[in-house]
A and B are shown apart, each in its own frame.
Chain A
Amino acid sequence: MLKAKEYIIEKGLLLCALITALTTIGIILVLTIEAITFFKEISLVDFLTDTQWTPLYSEKHFGVLPLLAGTFLTTVIAILVALPIGMGIAIYLSEYAPKSFRKTIKPLLELLAAVPTVVYGFFALMVVTPFLQKIIPGLSGFNALSAGIVMGVMIIPFISSMSEDALHAVPKSLREAAYGMGSTRLQTVFKVTIPSASSGITASAILAISRAIGETMIVAIAAGQMPGLTFNPIKPVQTITAYIVQVSSGDVPFGSLEHSTIFATGISLFVLTFILNSISFWVSKKYHRQYE
């Protein structure tokens, strides 16, 4: 009787594991198959080199570069916001803050990641953009800048939390060695602790970038729907994710070429984040080995 129960539970757990694995494989398969139908009509070279993206207009162009530029622009702005702030938080919490402060503030910071992204999106559109328009005269109502800044705020906890873990994991003995030679606290932090934790910090930054690239709601709401090959942050742009939202929520006929564009762009996005996650995984694994 007991044996049978154990058997059922074991198989049940296996099933859970299989479901996730199969889902991932299923997604990749669907993306690939649909993307292949798209690339039968549009050559990969056109897709990667054409500078216009107008599949929904009468004169159709299928160059993914404008979407990539929009994704790139918003991501860069987000990282420029999140990296210095996130690192500052991580260094303060790990090296300076009293233990009790660290214990209370860390979960609070991680709450930032729990705010629904649609809230962030409206925050960017209704609060940040009007505020920035007072400072920057030519700022469009939809623009890469506010979307990027708000996205930066959203990914701060990714960087601060993981970097703080990496700094915290640097052995006490290394800090003692630095102090023992007459280093000040600041010298110890910047010349010993941060370099020793560099791979963990790098991994956190890459993961944050990957998260920013995949972020959808904020950019769909606040960055606009105008794909253009521009790096001007005050203009509206469209990211890959925002385009996918536009098509899947619009009235593009199912099965048409226009509809299959979302799979081509989707697989581009998947490849991009997959590469970044792999790098992050590899870097952080390397760093764990260092102190074993």
Chain B
Amino acid sequence: MITSVIKEKKNSKGMQDKIKQNSIKLESENVGVFYGHKKVLQNVTMRIQANTVTALIGPSGCGKSTYLRLFNRMNDYIDNFRKEGDVIIDGNEIYKKGIEIEELRKTVGMVFQKPNPFPKSIYENVAYGLRIQGINKKSALDEIVEKSIKQAALWDEVKDDLKKNALTLSGGQQQRLCIARTLAVQPSVILMDEPASALDPISTARIEDLIYELKQNYTILIVTHNMQQAGRVSDHTGFFYLGELVEFGDTRQIFTNPKSEKTESYISGRFG
């Protein structure tokens, strides 16, 4: 079911454009999240199109990271986590019985705030996701590792020392390696939780270019504190405040002509 969109895309070129414009990849329907008795998200309804970048913005503690982590069920590890409403990917409610979390996460990749490569070689970091799926054939691994690192725009910097420990790379390189590692599993959705917040401006610019490139093949959801970054990389923006989705729309519209006063004062830097 999850791959049905991809299959259709291959059928006809005309369909492809239509799907790109219209198909809904991710949905949430009146979603609320509780940690124990505390309600951290309420009534969030959002529809996200395939092959777009959607930025989630808002002050700290507004629930945007929690919302992001709903889509790969990363909140499941938090004690007393409970959600209401529906979270839907490719038409399937992902919290219903019978959904394999491990399979879901192969479709929905994630890049974290702090670069978190494994203390293994560069090569093994990227091969990890394949090895846990039982792919150990060297030729297959070599090919996907190279392709993924190239996609993450890191190949030229590391191609001669793939055996080197990943922790010897700079922060920006480590984060691109983490992106390569995610791509190797061949997901269709990538969740990014402030992927550039721990990086210097040059590394940040490279990550942003990369996000723009990846849009061709992936649906990207990105949490960011950086307004300029949201403006630069995203097609749509959602503004969260105190656990509610205040406004959701075209990035340009949100930044130039926000409907809500709260959105306007947050974007112009009056709070947050």
Contact = CB atoms under 8 A, between A and B. Distances in A.
B118 A192 contact: yes
Of residues B77, B104, B132, B178, which shows the largest number of chain A Cβ atoms within 10 Å of its Cβ? B132
B116 A191 contact: no
B129 interface: yes
Contacts of B112: 173, 176-177, 180
Contacts of A195: 118-120
A182 interface: yes
B120 A179 contact: no
A176 B113 CA distance: 11
B237 interface: no
Contact of A290 (B72, B109, B114, B167): B167
A183 B103 CA distance: 9
B135 interface: no
A153 B260 CA distance: 67
A196 B117 CA distance: 11
Interface in B106-151: 106, 109-110, 112, 114, 116-120, 128-129, 131-133
Contacts of B222: none
A171 B118 CA distance: 10
5 contacts: A171-B116, A179-B105, A182-B129, A191-B131, A192-B118
B181 interface: yes
A98 B102 CA distance: 22
Interface of A: 171, 173-174, 176-184, 187, 191-192, 195-196, 290
B105 to A, nearest CB: 4
A183 B72 CA distance: 12
A182 B74 contact: no
A160 to B, nearest CB: 23
Given A179-B74, A180-B74, A180-B109, A174 B102 contact: no
Nearest to A170: B119
A177 B117 CA distance: 8
B118 A181 contact: no
A178 B181 CA distance: 10
B185 A181 contact: yes
Nearest first, the 10 A-B pairs at minimum CB distance are A173-B116, A180-B110, A182-B105, A182-B106, A181-B129, A182-B102, A177-B116, A187-B132, A183-B132, A196-B119
B182 interface: yes
A182 B185 contact: yes
Contacts of B114: 173
B118 A196 contact: yes
A182 B134 CA distance: 12
A184 B116 contact: no
A194 B153 CA distance: 30
A180 B72 CA distance: 7
Contacts of A191: 128, 131-132
A177 B106 contact: no
A173 B116 CA distance: 6
A118 to B, nearest CB: 43
Given A177-B116, A181-B129, A196-B118, 6 more contacts: A177-B117, A179-B74, A180-B109, A180-B182, A182-B185, A191-B128
Of residues B103, B118, B167, which shows the largest number of chain A Cβ atoms within 10 Å of its Cβ? B118
Contacts of A290: 119, 167
B181 A176 contact: no
Nearest to B120: A195
A192 B118 CA distance: 7
Contacts of A181: 105-106, 109, 128-129, 132, 181-182, 185
